[in-house]
Structure 1
Amino acid sequence: MKFVIFITLCTLLKHTVAQGAGCYDGSDPALCSDCGGSCDPENGCLCSDSISQCFPVASKCPMESNDCCNVTSGWYWNSICCTDVKQCSPSCQSDESCDIVNGPPTCVCNKTIYSGITPARLKPTVTCNDGTMETYVNICELKALGYQYSAFHLINNSVYCNFQYNTTINNVSVSGIQLQTAKGWCGNIVTQDSSNIYITNTLYIAPTAGPLITKNPLSYNITCAYNLTMQTSLNFSLHPVLSTITLTPENGTGVFTVTMAAYKDLSHTQPIQQDEQVVIGSDVYLGLLSPDADGDVFALRVESCLATPTNNRSDTNSVQLVSGGSATDNGVLTTVERNGVSLEAIIKISSFAFQGYTEVYIFCDVELCKKSNGCSGSRSSRSADSVFSGLGINLLLQDDMNYTSFGHNTAASWAVLAASLLAFLTIKFF
């Protein structure tokens, strides 16, 4: 009984609101409920004869816009019914007002709010996302200052770099442009310190076009800072040496990405580039990661790694680097720095070359191991649910093998030797 009373009260309240808003209740055009009509986005609101226009009632208009009503006759949609109170649909933002400008009601910037502003007030906002950064500028501020809101550009002004769009933030209309967080993309400048990588570009905003030029373009440097990690250092590198696969976790469901890359340092902030030659004897750090897996449940485990002089892991001329999750002693200095404890694994290798080859290929078998099964250290047997997949990278080696000098020898000229001998002979020993 209480539920019935509640529904009745809601109906009465809605009817009261509608009537208070000046809802249309005439007969020409008819109400859709009186002529068996309905509304749809393609045809608008029509009676059952599919010809005569009708007005919807009780929020029965899927368009939810002024298309529901005959605006030219002075009727507007207010989310409940057609009303004689001027409405913009969709409704205006907090810094706009609804006005009629040569046609149906339109949202226009509230001139009172932005009267007398200067360019110093214009401050683009920047949002830093994983893989992208976005910058937004208030549209009404741009209009009030006499600048274009639909013609932004970056350092590189090509069409490829223009990802501009309009949206709403905090009930204010803004125009934004999206950037990829990649080194060299459309003029991006990448810098870093010991803990962060910084991506910087410049946003240029042109003045409103006209016969006279009365102001200079505006420019703003926009920067995003990202924590320096194994993953971000790869994201912001141009052509890193890497390999990526998808892998199903041990005793689990889903598919996750696993990446192996080569780095110059243990902190994994300097990826080795594809065209970069590695000095024989220098340390190379293999970084393996699976950023999307659940780190509370799974760990990335490197089961084995081997090196070959060709892109054939079955090459008979090979050397085992890691076996059973631990480093082997096969003539190549290898250290397992981290393995089976998190979603990142690190293998350090002292770089070497096969006789007669200037490249070395490294292949590793990995798994997403369930932590409860024990994933670190050597394991004599594999879990029945183990799912291994192979990753492979290649390194270019220094092709000019110079002898290393361990001493410094100086040759004297014959003139110096002769002078020294003469001085020796003139010495009186007694």
Structure 2
Amino acid sequence: SSQIFPCATDEIFDDITGICICNLSMYSSTVLPPNPTLRCLSGQIRLNVSRCQLERSGYDSSKLHLMDSSCVGQRVVEDVAEIVVSTNPFSSACGNVMTVNDSHVIYSNNLNIPAKVFMSGVLTRNNISIGFDCSYPLMMPVSLFSIMNPAIGFIELNVHGVNTIMKPTMTAFIDSNFTVPYNESSMYLYTSNPLYLSMRLPEFEFLYLLVKRMYATTINDLNAVPQFDLITDGCPSLDMNDLVSVVHNGDSYQAQFVIQVFQITGSDSVYFFADVETCMETCT
């Protein structure tokens, strides 16, 4: 099969075969394969291993796989050539084993690295199986914000103590089905018009999203004063009960609200901030 060119910095182009092959002179042979780099991402578990170090050390870089042998590695060029094996954080994916404790859900699997069979039929290494796991928090306080103009706010959250990145988003929609987002050209809002506001997490099989508090300010500062509470303890604030209604909150990976557009005296913009938690079961 054809490969994507140019070759990596640790590969050379073979004119005879028409593919990129490893420049083995750049590496020293080792008894064990190189340690994979594990990334516990939002919605993906990903392992990277040096392709050419595998080949130099007597392992078959083309046959790496997880417990489910159909989940195989792919050659990726990130300066050097790497073999990338990935799976989703689901108990049914690629042979993942899920365990749950009081604070985290943990997905475990094995990366299988077979020894290379040389043309003579000789193997010089043992097959290797490397166990790995990714932990995801059950409870996770986050903050995110949106402004009425533009409509969409975004924050990338690094969760302390676990190797994972969660990416909550807040989006304002035009329609009650939460399908058509506002953009800068269409963001003309008038008081008393409905604003359909959604907050989402990537679709995990175990996480539910709960907006504990949502408030508005006149500037892009979560500590700004005054703060106008819209949601308190997951429910519309008493002072704003006529302006805010809850469509979903705490029962799925997304929260949805309908807010009657309002203006804060002395300001042309309104910024929304939210304190968000996640939980294993329905949060309500």
Give the structure-1-normalised TM-score. Answer: 0.35
- Residues 391 and 167 (structure 1), Cα distance of their counterparts in 2 relative to 1, 3 Å cut: same
Structure 1, residues 332-372: CA drift from partner, whole Å, max 9, x if none?
Answer: xxxxxxxxxxxxxxxxxxxxxxxxxxxxxxxxxxxxxxx72
| 1:223 aligned partner | 133
- Return the match for 1:182 from 48, 67, 90: 90
Relative distance call for 1:373 and 1:290 in structure 2 (3 A) is: closer
State the Cα distance separating 1:188 from its structure 2 match: 1.6
The one of 210, 214, 229 equivalent to 1:289 is: 210
Distance 1:184 1:375 in 2: 36
Give the conservation status (yes or no) of the 8 Å contact 2:76–2:82: yes
The one-letter code of the counterpart of 1:389 is V
Q: Deviations over 1:212-257 (max 9, x none)?
A: 252321111122222332799xxxxxxxxxxxx9769996455445
Q: How far 1:204 sits from its partner (Å)?
A: 0.6
CA separation of 1:145 and 1:375: change in aligned 2, threshold 3 A: closer
CA offsets, 1:81-120, max 9 Å, x none? xxxxxxxx94443323x4553266x6432222224x1133
Q: Kindly indicate whether residue 27 of structure 2 is the aligned counterpart of residue 114 of structure 1.
A: yes
1:382 aligns with 2:241: yes
8 Å Cα contact 1:251/1:386 also seen in 2:
no
CA distance in structure 2 between the aligned counterparts of 1:207 and 1:181, rounded to whole angstroms:
28
Supply the distance in 2 between the matched residues of 1:119 and 1:146 (Cα, whole angstroms): 8
Counterpart CA distance in 2 for 1:185 and 1:193 is 20
Contact 1:139 1:175 (C-alpha < 8 Å) held by counterparts: yes
| Residues in 1 aligned to 2:137 and 2:62: alpha-carbon distance in whole angstroms | 33
Name which of 13, 24, 47 aligns with 1:135.
47
**Residue 192 of structure 1, CA deviation:** 4.4
**Residue 61 of structure 1 corresponds to which residue in structure 2?**
none
Structure 2 CA distance, aligned partners of 1:108 and 1:378?
64
Distance 1:219 1:129 in 2: 22
Shift of 1:153: 1.8
What are the superposed Cα offsets for residues 252-290 of structure 1, whole Å, 9 maximum, x if unpaired?
Answer: 4554459xxxxxxxxxxx99xxxxxxxxxxxxxxx7625
SS in 2 for 1:375: strand
Q: Give % identity.
A: 23
The C-alpha deviation readout for 1:115-156, integer Å capped at 9, x for no partner, is: 4x1133511111110121001111111222232222222122
Q: Which amino acid aligns with 2:210?
A: L
For residue 131 of structure 1, what is the amino acid of its counterpart? G
State the alpha-carbon separation in 2 of the partners of residues 200 and 289 from structure 1.
27
1:168 alignment partner in structure 2? 77
**Long gaps (5+) in structure 1:** 1-88, 233-244, 259-269, 272-286, 299-370, 394-430
Provide the C-alpha distance between the structure 2 equivalents of 1:225 and 1:391, rounded to a whole number of angstroms.
24
- 4+ residue runs over 4 A deviation: 245-251, 294-298, 390-393
3-state DSSP class of the match of 1:199?
A: strand
Alignment check: 8 A CA contact 1:153 1:205 kept: yes
Q: 2:228 aligns with which of 363, 369, 372?
A: 372
Q: Aligned partners of 2:109, 2:13: CA distance in 1, in Å?
A: 38
Task: Summarize the Cα distance change of 1:139–1:103 in structure 2 as closer, same or farther, 3 Å threshold.
Answer: closer
Distance 2:17 2:65 in 1: 32
2:258 alignment counterpart: none
Q: Does 1:152 align with 2:64?
A: yes
CA offsets 1:372-396 (integer angstroms, 9 cap, x no match) = 254337638732x434426898xxx
User: Which of 1 and 2 has greater Rg?
Assistant: 1
- The CA distance in 2 between the partners of 1:113 and 1:392, in whole Å, is 53
- Kindly state the Cα deviation for residue 180 of structure 1 after the two structures are TM-superposed: 1.2
Higher strand share: 2
- Determine the structure 2 residue equivalent to 1:23: none
- 1-structure distance, mates of 2:250, 2:80: 50
The answer to which structure has the higher helix fraction is 1
- In the alignment, which residue of structure 1 is the partner of 2:15? 101
DSSP-derived class of the 1:182 partner: coil
**What does residue 207 of structure 1 align with?**
115
Query: Whose RCO is larger (CA < 8 A, sep 6+)?
Result: 2
Per-residue CA deviations over 1:388-414 (Å, capped at 9, x if unaligned) read: 426898xxxxxxxxxxxxxxxxxxxxx
* 1:93 partner letter: A
Residue pair 2:64, 2:72 contacting (<8 A) in 1 also: no
Query: Closer, same or farther in 2 for the Cα pair 1:90/1:390, shift >3 Å?
Result: closer
Give TM-score, length-normalised by structure 2. 0.51
Q: Distance in 1 between matches of 2:237 and 2:197?
A: 26
Aligned length: 186
Aligned 8 A contact 1:133 1:180 in 2: yes
